[in-house]
Structure 1
Amino acid sequence: MTVEGYDLPEAIESAVLAEIRRRSGFKASEIVGLLRRSGVPTNSVRPEFHPAGPADRIADRLLQRERRAGRIRFERGLWHRVPEAPGDAAR
Protein backbone atom coordinates (compact mmCIF):
# COMPACT_ATOMS: atom_id res chain seq x y z
CA MET A 1 0.00 0.00 0.00
CA THR A 2 1.37 3.43 -0.90
CA VAL A 3 0.01 6.45 0.98
CA GLU A 4 1.28 10.00 0.55
CA GLY A 5 4.46 8.75 -1.09
CA TYR A 6 5.23 6.20 1.64
CA ASP A 7 5.30 2.50 0.75
CA LEU A 8 3.94 0.59 3.74
CA PRO A 9 5.92 -2.65 4.19
CA GLU A 10 3.77 -5.77 3.94
CA ALA A 11 5.00 -6.97 7.34
CA ILE A 12 3.71 -3.82 9.07
CA GLU A 13 0.39 -3.96 7.20
CA SER A 14 -0.10 -7.62 8.18
CA ALA A 15 0.78 -6.95 11.82
CA VAL A 16 -1.63 -4.00 12.04
CA LEU A 17 -4.44 -5.95 10.37
CA ALA A 18 -3.89 -8.83 12.80
CA GLU A 19 -4.14 -6.38 15.72
CA ILE A 20 -7.33 -4.83 14.31
CA ARG A 21 -8.89 -8.28 13.93
CA ARG A 22 -7.80 -9.36 17.43
CA ARG A 23 -9.04 -6.35 19.39
CA SER A 24 -12.46 -4.96 20.19
CA GLY A 25 -13.42 -1.61 21.68
CA PHE A 26 -10.51 0.49 20.41
CA LYS A 27 -9.97 3.95 18.94
CA ALA A 28 -8.41 4.76 15.58
CA SER A 29 -5.71 6.70 17.43
CA GLU A 30 -4.51 3.41 18.94
CA ILE A 31 -3.97 2.03 15.45
CA VAL A 32 -2.15 5.23 14.45
CA GLY A 33 0.09 4.79 17.49
CA LEU A 34 0.82 1.20 16.52
CA LEU A 35 1.77 2.31 13.00
CA ARG A 36 4.08 5.00 14.36
CA ARG A 37 5.74 2.57 16.78
CA SER A 38 6.23 0.23 13.82
CA GLY A 39 8.23 2.88 11.99
CA VAL A 40 5.68 4.67 9.82
CA PRO A 41 6.92 8.27 9.46
CA THR A 42 5.43 10.93 11.70
CA ASN A 43 6.48 13.68 9.29
CA SER A 44 5.45 14.16 5.69
CA VAL A 45 7.36 12.04 3.20
CA ARG A 46 6.61 14.45 0.35
CA PRO A 47 5.96 18.17 0.84
CA GLU A 48 2.74 18.26 -1.19
CA PHE A 49 1.02 16.07 1.40
CA HIS A 50 -0.13 16.77 4.94
CA PRO A 51 2.78 17.57 7.29
CA ALA A 52 1.62 15.06 9.94
CA GLY A 53 2.77 12.09 7.87
CA PRO A 54 0.92 9.10 6.43
CA ALA A 55 0.08 7.14 9.62
CA ASP A 56 -3.41 8.68 10.01
CA ARG A 57 -4.36 7.96 6.40
CA ILE A 58 -2.99 4.43 6.53
CA ALA A 59 -4.94 3.70 9.73
CA ASP A 60 -8.12 5.05 8.14
CA ARG A 61 -7.66 2.96 4.99
CA LEU A 62 -7.06 -0.23 6.97
CA LEU A 63 -10.02 0.39 9.30
CA GLN A 64 -12.34 1.15 6.39
CA ARG A 65 -11.15 -1.95 4.51
CA GLU A 66 -11.96 -4.10 7.54
CA ARG A 67 -15.32 -2.35 8.02
CA ARG A 68 -16.32 -2.95 4.39
CA ALA A 69 -15.30 -6.60 4.76
CA GLY A 70 -17.68 -6.88 7.72
CA ARG A 71 -14.99 -7.71 10.29
CA ILE A 72 -15.35 -4.55 12.42
CA ARG A 73 -18.01 -1.92 13.12
CA PHE A 74 -17.95 1.59 14.60
CA GLU A 75 -20.23 2.05 17.59
CA ARG A 76 -20.31 4.67 20.36
CA GLY A 77 -16.95 6.14 19.40
CA LEU A 78 -15.07 2.85 19.30
CA TRP A 79 -14.24 0.18 16.73
CA HIS A 80 -15.51 -3.29 17.64
CA ARG A 81 -14.80 -6.72 16.22
CA VAL A 82 -17.86 -8.32 14.61
CA PRO A 83 -18.42 -11.76 16.12
CA GLU A 84 -18.32 -14.60 13.67
CA ALA A 85 -21.56 -16.38 12.99
CA PRO A 86 -21.64 -20.01 14.17
CA GLY A 87 -20.15 -22.21 11.46
CA ASP A 88 -18.69 -19.20 9.60
CA ALA A 89 -15.06 -20.29 9.20
CA ALA A 90 -14.55 -18.15 6.07
CA ARG A 91 -13.54 -15.04 8.09
Structure 2
Amino acid sequence: MPLPPTPDYPGHLLVRRVSHAGTFRFRARQLFLSDTLMEEDIALEEVDDGVWSILFYDALIARLDERDWRISGESGENRRGKAGEGADTVSPISPV
Protein backbone atom coordinates (compact mmCIF):
# COMPACT_ATOMS: atom_id res chain seq x y z
CA MET A 1 0.00 0.00 0.00
CA PRO A 2 1.50 3.38 -0.96
CA LEU A 3 2.22 5.93 1.73
CA PRO A 4 0.26 9.20 1.74
CA PRO A 5 2.14 12.21 0.39
CA THR A 6 4.12 14.36 2.80
CA PRO A 7 2.02 17.33 3.90
CA ASP A 8 2.70 20.53 1.97
CA TYR A 9 2.11 23.24 4.59
CA PRO A 10 1.68 26.91 3.62
CA GLY A 11 4.79 29.07 4.06
CA HIS A 12 3.48 31.06 7.03
CA LEU A 13 3.29 27.94 9.24
CA LEU A 14 6.19 26.64 11.33
CA VAL A 15 6.93 23.03 10.39
CA ARG A 16 8.43 20.59 12.89
CA ARG A 17 9.21 16.86 12.67
CA VAL A 18 7.93 14.63 15.49
CA SER A 19 10.73 12.41 16.85
CA HIS A 20 10.67 8.66 17.52
CA ALA A 21 9.82 9.57 21.13
CA GLY A 22 6.76 11.59 20.09
CA THR A 23 8.36 14.97 20.83
CA PHE A 24 9.13 18.06 18.79
CA ARG A 25 11.36 21.08 19.37
CA PHE A 26 9.86 24.53 19.72
CA ARG A 27 11.58 27.63 21.13
CA ALA A 28 14.47 25.66 22.65
CA ARG A 29 12.09 23.20 24.36
CA GLN A 30 11.38 19.55 23.73
CA LEU A 31 7.60 19.03 23.92
CA PHE A 32 5.73 15.73 23.94
CA LEU A 33 2.86 15.49 21.45
CA SER A 34 2.21 11.85 20.54
CA ASP A 35 4.26 8.82 19.63
CA THR A 36 1.56 8.01 17.08
CA LEU A 37 2.91 10.87 14.95
CA MET A 38 6.58 9.85 15.14
CA GLU A 39 8.58 10.84 12.07
CA GLU A 40 5.67 12.92 10.74
CA ASP A 41 5.74 16.64 9.97
CA ILE A 42 3.36 18.85 11.94
CA ALA A 43 2.70 22.57 11.56
CA LEU A 44 2.23 25.30 14.14
CA GLU A 45 0.22 28.47 13.61
CA GLU A 46 0.00 31.27 16.17
CA VAL A 47 -3.69 32.03 16.68
CA ASP A 48 -3.40 34.34 19.69
CA ASP A 49 -0.53 35.85 21.67
CA GLY A 50 1.43 32.77 22.77
CA VAL A 51 -1.29 30.32 21.72
CA TRP A 52 -0.52 28.00 18.83
CA SER A 53 -2.63 25.59 16.82
CA ILE A 54 -0.90 22.30 16.06
CA LEU A 55 -1.94 20.88 12.70
CA PHE A 56 -1.46 17.54 10.99
CA TYR A 57 -2.22 18.01 7.30
CA ASP A 58 -5.27 20.31 7.53
CA ALA A 59 -6.61 18.90 10.82
CA LEU A 60 -6.33 20.80 14.09
CA ILE A 61 -5.02 18.20 16.54
CA ALA A 62 -4.00 20.28 19.57
CA ARG A 63 -3.22 23.71 21.00
CA LEU A 64 -0.01 24.83 22.66
CA ASP A 65 -0.05 27.59 25.28
CA GLU A 66 3.37 29.17 25.81
CA ARG A 67 2.38 30.61 29.21
CA ASP A 68 2.54 27.17 30.84
CA TRP A 69 3.87 25.08 27.91
CA ARG A 70 0.82 22.81 28.02
CA ILE A 71 -0.43 21.01 24.96
CA SER A 72 -4.15 20.33 25.05
CA GLY A 73 -6.32 18.46 22.61
CA GLU A 74 -8.79 20.26 20.44
CA SER A 75 -11.46 19.34 23.02
CA GLY A 76 -9.55 21.13 25.81
CA GLU A 77 -8.12 17.99 27.43
CA ASN A 78 -4.50 18.28 28.48
CA ARG A 79 -1.92 15.52 28.79
CA ARG A 80 -2.84 14.89 32.45
CA GLY A 81 -6.58 14.46 31.93
CA LYS A 82 -9.42 16.89 31.45
CA ALA A 83 -8.76 20.60 31.79
CA GLY A 84 -8.71 21.54 35.45
CA GLU A 85 -8.01 18.03 36.76
CA GLY A 86 -4.82 17.37 38.67
CA ALA A 87 -2.04 14.97 37.83
CA ASP A 88 -3.27 12.53 40.49
CA THR A 89 -6.18 11.34 38.36
CA VAL A 90 -6.17 7.54 38.14
CA SER A 91 -7.87 5.49 35.46
CA PRO A 92 -10.70 3.36 36.87
CA ILE A 93 -9.14 0.30 35.22
CA SER A 94 -5.64 0.91 36.60
CA PRO A 95 -4.49 -1.49 39.31
CA VAL A 96 -3.54 0.48 42.40
Q: Relative to total residues, which structure has the larger strand share, 1 or 2?
A: 2
Q: Relative to total residues, which structure has the larger helix share, 1 or 2?
A: 1
Same fold flag (TM > 0.5): no
Pick 1 or 2: higher relative contact order, CA cutoff 8 A, min separation 6.
Answer: 1
TM-score by length of 2: 0.31
TM-score by length of 1: 0.32
